[in-house]
Structure 1
């Protein structure tokens, strides 16, 4: 599995990275050795759907913020 960074991440990498699979993992891109949060794919999909339904402050809304396809 490959770590992927959000398309909303700044140039300095100030975001999180995700590795999608049977058990998806999330980590801080500034502290990669600091550990990971593991969640089921079902939980990740529910999180993405919930976040994608909201308009981020100060950004145009162009659909889901992150998905397995866009991320």
Structure 2
């Protein structure tokens, strides 16, 4: 049986992984001829921001989330 601390650690790890390591799939719903370009730009921008945040905050988020138990 897991302790409360172990359960929190598992959930924090799972949510951080899910939030920061899952690629974002942007879809603006635009069916125009140039919609693919907007989709490409949004996806690229989202990926860059996600990587930057992940590199800066990944360990910090895990550490701060664990202080509540």
Larger radius of gyration between Structure 1 and Structure 2:
2
TM-score, length of structure 2 as denominator length = 0.29
Higher share in strand:
1
Structure with higher RCO (Cα < 8 A, 6+ apart): 2
TM-score, length of structure 1 as denominator length = 0.29
Higher share in helix:
2
